């Protein structure tokens, strides 16, 4: 089964950047613009990896993580934080909540891909020969 | 040295370092400080402004990025891999300012001023200047992208220490 990756970020730019990053790989990509929407999509789709921002309207990334950890169906879902927040308090809070990795913006796309590949199998899509 | 003077001395350096880091890491572009005095004041065409607030118990401030439209288009194309529509160009400008503010905030945190970031607001217009308030520390620097003819851009940072 193809891995499912959920991107939760209020910035459309970041969601588009991630789409562009993962498009060469066999996976299903889902998006959400805040933590509440992220929870809804995660509950419905049961992603294999969530790439999560911290600072978002409606519900921030830490609150979403707390809700996930209380939900038996989502509590083990791997999460990589991708955020402009780099304060030690936030990093230690999300570490306690079991995030796999923490990437600060600005970020190197290859590095993020490498971290994602430690969580899910990223197989390149076969190239379609030109007609 | 008091924390207050540490912020004063480092504000231009801190914001310049943050800006260079964002441009080189996210966009693979090198930037240079512009030798011209206030180059945006003579620019024809509109600018995109993006502002992000930084607020904490002991600190309050704003980071303001101003880009000529042509440069904002170019940055959008680099980030998204295609020419974006007007909404996408605004979103990219906001995200860029958010990243710069995040790096400035991290430096302030390291100097003993923890804070949180606001959500970016983006507008279009002529060159603007942050209103300097009381004892707030202020930095305004003009930059250009090495090897690109898209014109200069401006970064302003204002930080006020709440006593």
Name the residue among A37, A103, A43 with its Cα closest to residue A71: A43
Put simply, the answer to whether A13 touches B99 (Cβ < 8 Å) is no
Token reading at B113? 């001023």
Digit-coded pLDDT (tens) for B14-40: 899 999 999 999 999 999 988 777 777
Instruction: Write the DSSP symbol of residue B40.
Output: G
What local confidence, expressed as pLDDT, does residue B2 receive? 46
Put simply, the answer to whether B25 touches A16 (Cβ < 8 Å) is no
Name the residue among B129, B141, B149 with its Cα closest to residue B37: B141
Nearest residue on chain A to B109, alpha-carbon basis: A87
Residue A46 has a CB neighbour count (10 Å cut-off) of 12
B interface with A, Cβ–Cβ < 8 A, is 21-22, 25-26, 79-81, 87-88, 91-92, 94-95, 98-99, 101-103, 105-106, 109, 114, 116-117, 119
B112 CA to chain A: closest CA distance, Å? Answer: 11
The pLDDT-based confidence of B134 (bands split at 50, 70, 90) is confident
What local confidence, expressed as pLDDT, does residue A87 receive? 83
Digit-coded pLDDT (tens) for B67-84: 999 999 999 999 998 898
Residues of B in contact with A13 (CB under 8 A): 79-80, 88, 91-92, 94-95
Residues of A in contact with B112 (CB under 8 A): none
Residues ≥6 apart with Cβ < 8 Å to B148: B29, B71, B74
Here the ipTM equals 0.84
Put simply, the answer to whether A13 touches B109 (Cβ < 8 Å) is no
Name the residue among B25, B13, B49, B27 with its Cα closest to residue B154: B49
Beta strands in A22-78 (DSSP E): 28-32, 49-52
Digit-coded pLDDT (tens) for B88-119: 999 999 999 999 999 999 888 888 888 999 98
Put simply, the answer to whether A87 touches B87 (Cβ < 8 Å) is no
Q: Please give the order of strands across the beta sheet that includes A101-104.
A: A28-32, A4-8, A49-52, A79-83, A101-104
Tell me the C-alpha distance between A35 and B159, whole Å: 30
Q: Does residue A103 contact residue A75 with C-beta atoms inside 8 Å?
A: no
Tell me the C-alpha distance between B158 and A44, whole Å: 44
A116 CA to chain B: closest CA distance, Å? Answer: 18
Q: Please, where are the H alpha helices in chain B?
A: 3-27, 69-80, 86-110
Tell me the C-alpha distance between A112 and A107, whole Å: 7
């Amino acid at each position: 089964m193809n891995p499912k990756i959920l991107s939760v970020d209020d910035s459309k730019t970041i969601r588009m950047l991630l789409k562009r990053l993962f498009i060469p790989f066999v996976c299903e990509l889902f998006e959400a613009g805040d933590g509440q929407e992220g929870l809804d999509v995660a509950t419905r789709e049961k992603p294999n990896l969530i790439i999560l921002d911290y600072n978002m309207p409606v519900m921030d990334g830490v609150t979403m993580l707390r809700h996930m950890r209380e939900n038996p169906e989502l509590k083990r879902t791997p999460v990589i934080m991708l955020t402009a927040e780099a304060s030690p308090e936030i990093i230690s809070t999300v570490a306690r909540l079991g995030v796999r990795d923490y990437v600060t913006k600005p970020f190197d796309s290859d590095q993020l891909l490498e971290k994602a590949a430690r969580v899910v199998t990223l197989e390149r899509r076969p190239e379609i020969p030109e007609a | 040295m008091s924390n207050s003077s540490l912020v004063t001395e480092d504000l231009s350096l801190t914001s310049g370092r943050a800006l260079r880091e964002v441009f080189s890491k996210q966009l693979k572009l090198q930037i240079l400080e512009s030798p011209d005095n206030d180059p945006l004041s003579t620019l024809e065409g509109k600018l995109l402004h993006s502002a992000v607030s930084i607020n904490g118990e002991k600190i309050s401030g704003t980071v303001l990025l101003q880009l000529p439209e042509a440069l904002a288009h170019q940055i959008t194309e680099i980030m998204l891999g295609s020419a974006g529509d007007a909404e996408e160009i605004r979103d990219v400008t906001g995200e860029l300012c958010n990243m710069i503010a995040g790096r400035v905030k991290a430096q302030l945190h390291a100097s003993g001023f923890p804070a949180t970031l606001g959500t970016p607001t983006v507008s279009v217009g002529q060159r603007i200047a942050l209103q300097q308030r009381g004892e707030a520390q202020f930095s305004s620097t003009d930059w250009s992208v090495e090897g690109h003819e898209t014109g200069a851009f401006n970064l302003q940072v204002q930080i006020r220490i709440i006593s």
